[in-house]
Amino acid sequence: MTDSKDTAPLSNDKPPAAPVPLQREWLNRTVVGAGLTSALGDFCYETTTVILPGFLAILGIPAAVLGLIEGLADAVASFTKMISGYVADKLGHRKLLVLVGYALTPAGQIAIALATAWPMLLVGRIISWFGKGLRGPLRDAIVIQAIPPRARGRAFGFHRAMDTIGAVVGPLLGVALLGWAQSHHGWNDPIGPFRLVLWLSVIPGVLAVLAFLGFVKDPAFSPNPGLRFFRALRGLPPKFKRYLGAVGLFGMGDFSHSLLILGATKLLTPALGIVQAAQIAGGLYVWRNVVQSAASFPVGMLADRVGALRILVLGYALGAMTGLLMAITFWLHVNTLALLAAVFLLAGLYTAVQEALEPTVIAEMVSADTLAMSIGALGTTNGTAKFISSAGVGLIWSALSPVLGFAFATITMAAGTVMLARLRHI
């Protein structure tokens, strides 16, 4: 007679679990929470971006000063990204630093709302951009480690789409409030409506801090106390360093899009007046953000299928086309909405590619223990280059002409595109 034990299964192992669907792997609480936080953060500071050129125009501040303000703010953010990435990789305190970064954005908005001259505007912008630099690479590193490698494009496309939703809703509301305040209140000072919008923009900035605190979970991450800053920089892969070179060259022409808003305002003012021109220019910037938001996720999906670097080259080419079209617009003195809308369309498309895929490409080149620092190096390269670009385009605009300013941007971005394309064959 056979013992019942002889017929028992030889193993107590359970049948293998069904594989988790890819969407559930990357569309998790951390990715959604980071996206919501970014949407609220963009709601806060993009409202300032869209009305700042008009604010400065009323104060009689020239394009060179706007370029200087945006360039210095970008430079502060860029160097902060490098240091914050290094500190996070060394100590492991990523979430706390991200929270501090998000808290600095509304603090900067308050400084701008109180400003009576451009130096205070510069201080407020630097505070906000310091916070942006502090949080950016650490948030991206958290998101990267919360998703599978085969879905990085989709996850970052989703995150950038959420990020841009705030950049759409915020400026839309800001432009609407600006028009409402202008028409329904007897302001003695034309700056009054702008200040009202700036104060209201503080609210979503505070909500962004609370959203990140409540929703985002930092994946398990071990500190690396032996990490040395300059040694780690020297040890980064050669291909990654060449990649940063291409990004930096492109970035030297990738001017702040505040100059696009100012350009549209200048072109439209003779026919419409400063307030209406500022509103329409703000609406065009919202259109740019709508395009960016709509394109971000499809760009990520396409990158997962055909390769992030290939799509990034295409995006850089669109950036060069944006500068070229803006130079032609000023050269021919064309102020039709159709042409300006095409400029902002291209700007939204190339920004969607750039922001979704630049960190994705990095994740394929460096090790996990230097990921945040490497993303910080990307941010530093971008910010330093954009300081040169924004200040350079603004100065050339003021000293010579906007045509030459945007022509300089076009040539530099085209050179960066060629350098990035050559990297694909290494």
Q: How far apart are CA 336 and CA 280, in angstroms?
A: 12
User: Which residue in 221, 195, 271 sits closest to 91, CA to CA?
Assistant: 221
Residue 5 in any domain: the answer is no
Q: pLDDT value at position 345?
A: 93
Number of domains within the chain: 1
- Residue 232, pLDDT score: 61
Q: Return the DSSP state at 21.
A: P
CA distance 15 to 411: 60
Asked if 285 contacts 419 with a C-beta cutoff of 8 angstroms, the reply is no
Flag whether 14 is in a domain: no
Tokens 């042409």 correspond to what residue?
339
What average pLDDT values come out for the chain (426 residues) when binned by 10 residues? 40 42 65 86 76 74 72 75 70 78 89 81 86 81 76 76 76 76 71 81 88 79 57 71 89 85 83 77 83 84 84 93 90 83 92 85 73 75 78 83 90 93 75
Structural Rg of the chain based on CA atoms: 23
The Cα–Cα gap between 171 and 327 comes to 25
**C-alpha distances out from residue 382 to 156, 173, 291, Å:** 18, 29, 22
pLDDT value of position 228? 57
Task: Confirm whether 6 is domain-assigned.
Answer: no
Its pTM stands at 0.65
Give me the DSSP letters along 279-299: HHHHHHHHHHHHHHHHHHHHH
- Domain limits for position 106: 29-215+232-423
Return the residue matching tokens 């032996």.
226
Does residue 23 lie within any of the structural domains? Answer: no
Residue at 220 is within a domain? no
> How is 328-341 classified by DSSP, letter by letter?
HHHHTT---HHHHH
Which segments of 114-237 does DSSP mark as H helices, in order? 118-144, 152-184, 192-200, 202-215, 229-234
Identity of the amino acid at 246: A
Domain annotation covers residue 95? yes
Q: Which amino acid is at 378?
A: L
Distance CA 409, CA 330 (A): 14
Residue 224 lies in a domain: no
Residue 292 domain-assigned?
A: yes
The CATH number assigned to the domain holding 346 equals: 1.20.1250.20
What pLDDT, on a 0 to 100 scale, did the predictor assign at position 146?
Answer: 76
Cα–Cα distance, 391 to 51 (Å, whole number): 19
Q: What is the pLDDT of residue 6?
A: 40
Distance CA 415, CA 421 (A): 10
